[in-house]
Amino acid sequence: MSIRARRSTKKTDSGRQRRQVTEQDLMDAAVRLLGDHRSVSTLSLREIAREAGIAPNSFYRYFRDVDELTVALIDQAGRALRGIIREARQRLSMERSAIRTSVEAFMEQLDADEKYLQVLLREMSTGSDAFREAVENELTYFEDELRDELERMEKLTGHATYEPALTAKAITRLVVAMGANAANLPKDSRAALIDQTVVMIRMIMEGSQSLAKKHRRSAK
């Protein structure tokens, strides 16, 4: 093969590789660039494009700007995390509570290769208003699912919770706050924090159920 032909082939192969890049490739590239204390919102378009192996101008084929990429990543992070927690609950054994299983599944994601939970936690505190709104939307999804679970458990057990939506919000915000604390600890030092989180959730649940009973008695 001639030199010109080989160059032509390389250009064709290079063009083919660029066309194969996807939105997911760009999001993965952004996550790979994250350090221990860096937010996705601080990354530049050029950094992400270079990490993904494309020209900066090619970035605009997939996202308008880094802001749009970050919001998409937060959305994906939330969906992935909800799926992980659902799967964990489905694997429950008779010896383990739904509360502990869910908390452990949440905390385990601090060390996941995808760094989804880190993205949610960082953008919640360091991102722009748009990023914080995206995180808030994801937390609302968690709260809605937990509220549905509390209402389902009430039908099964007869144990009502007072203001299920507010109870779900209190538990979700607690777990997120404890997750942010756990992110700064070594993996083998988180057991005590997990135990504390489980106890605090049970305190919220018992308090909510006690309020529900008082509310029912006063309504009679």
**Is 117 a member of any domain?**
yes
Q: How far apart are CA 109 and CA 80, in angstroms?
A: 10
**Is 34 a member of any domain?**
no
Most confident segment among 109-113, 114-118, 151-155: 151-155
136-195: pLDDT as tens digits: 888 898 899 889 888 988 888 888 899 999 999 999 999 989 988 888 788 888 999 999
37-89: pLDDT as tens digits: 677 878 899 999 999 999 999 999 999 999 899 889 888 888 877 877 777 66
**Is 111 a member of any domain?**
yes
**Predicted confidence (pLDDT) at residue 119 exceeds the cutoff of 80:** no
pLDDT reported for residue 40: 80
Phi–psi pair at 141, nearest 5 degrees: -60, -45
Cβ partners under 8 Å of residue 127, min gap 6: 39, 40, 41, 70, 134, 135
**Is 32 a member of any domain?**
no
CATH classification at residue 121: 1.10.357.10
Q: pTM for this one?
A: 0.75
**Predicted confidence (pLDDT) at residue 94 exceeds the cutoff of 70:** no
Query: For the chain, what is the domain count?
Result: 1
Q: At residue 126, what is the residue type? A: T
**Predicted confidence (pLDDT) at residue 18 exceeds the cutoff of 50:** no
More confident residue, 12 or 81: 81
**Is 60 a member of any domain?**
no
Q: How far apart are CA 68 and CA 79, in angstroms?
A: 17
User: E strands, the chain, where?
Assistant: none
pLDDT range class, residue 201, cuts 50, 70, 90: very high
Quick one: tokens of 52?
A: 């993904």
More confident residue, 116 or 198: 198
Q: State the residue range of the domain holding 212.
A: 67-219
**Predicted confidence (pLDDT) at residue 112 exceeds the cutoff of 70:** yes
**Is 122 a member of any domain?**
yes
**Is 168 a member of any domain?**
yes
pLDDT reported for residue 89: 66
**Is 52 a member of any domain?**
no
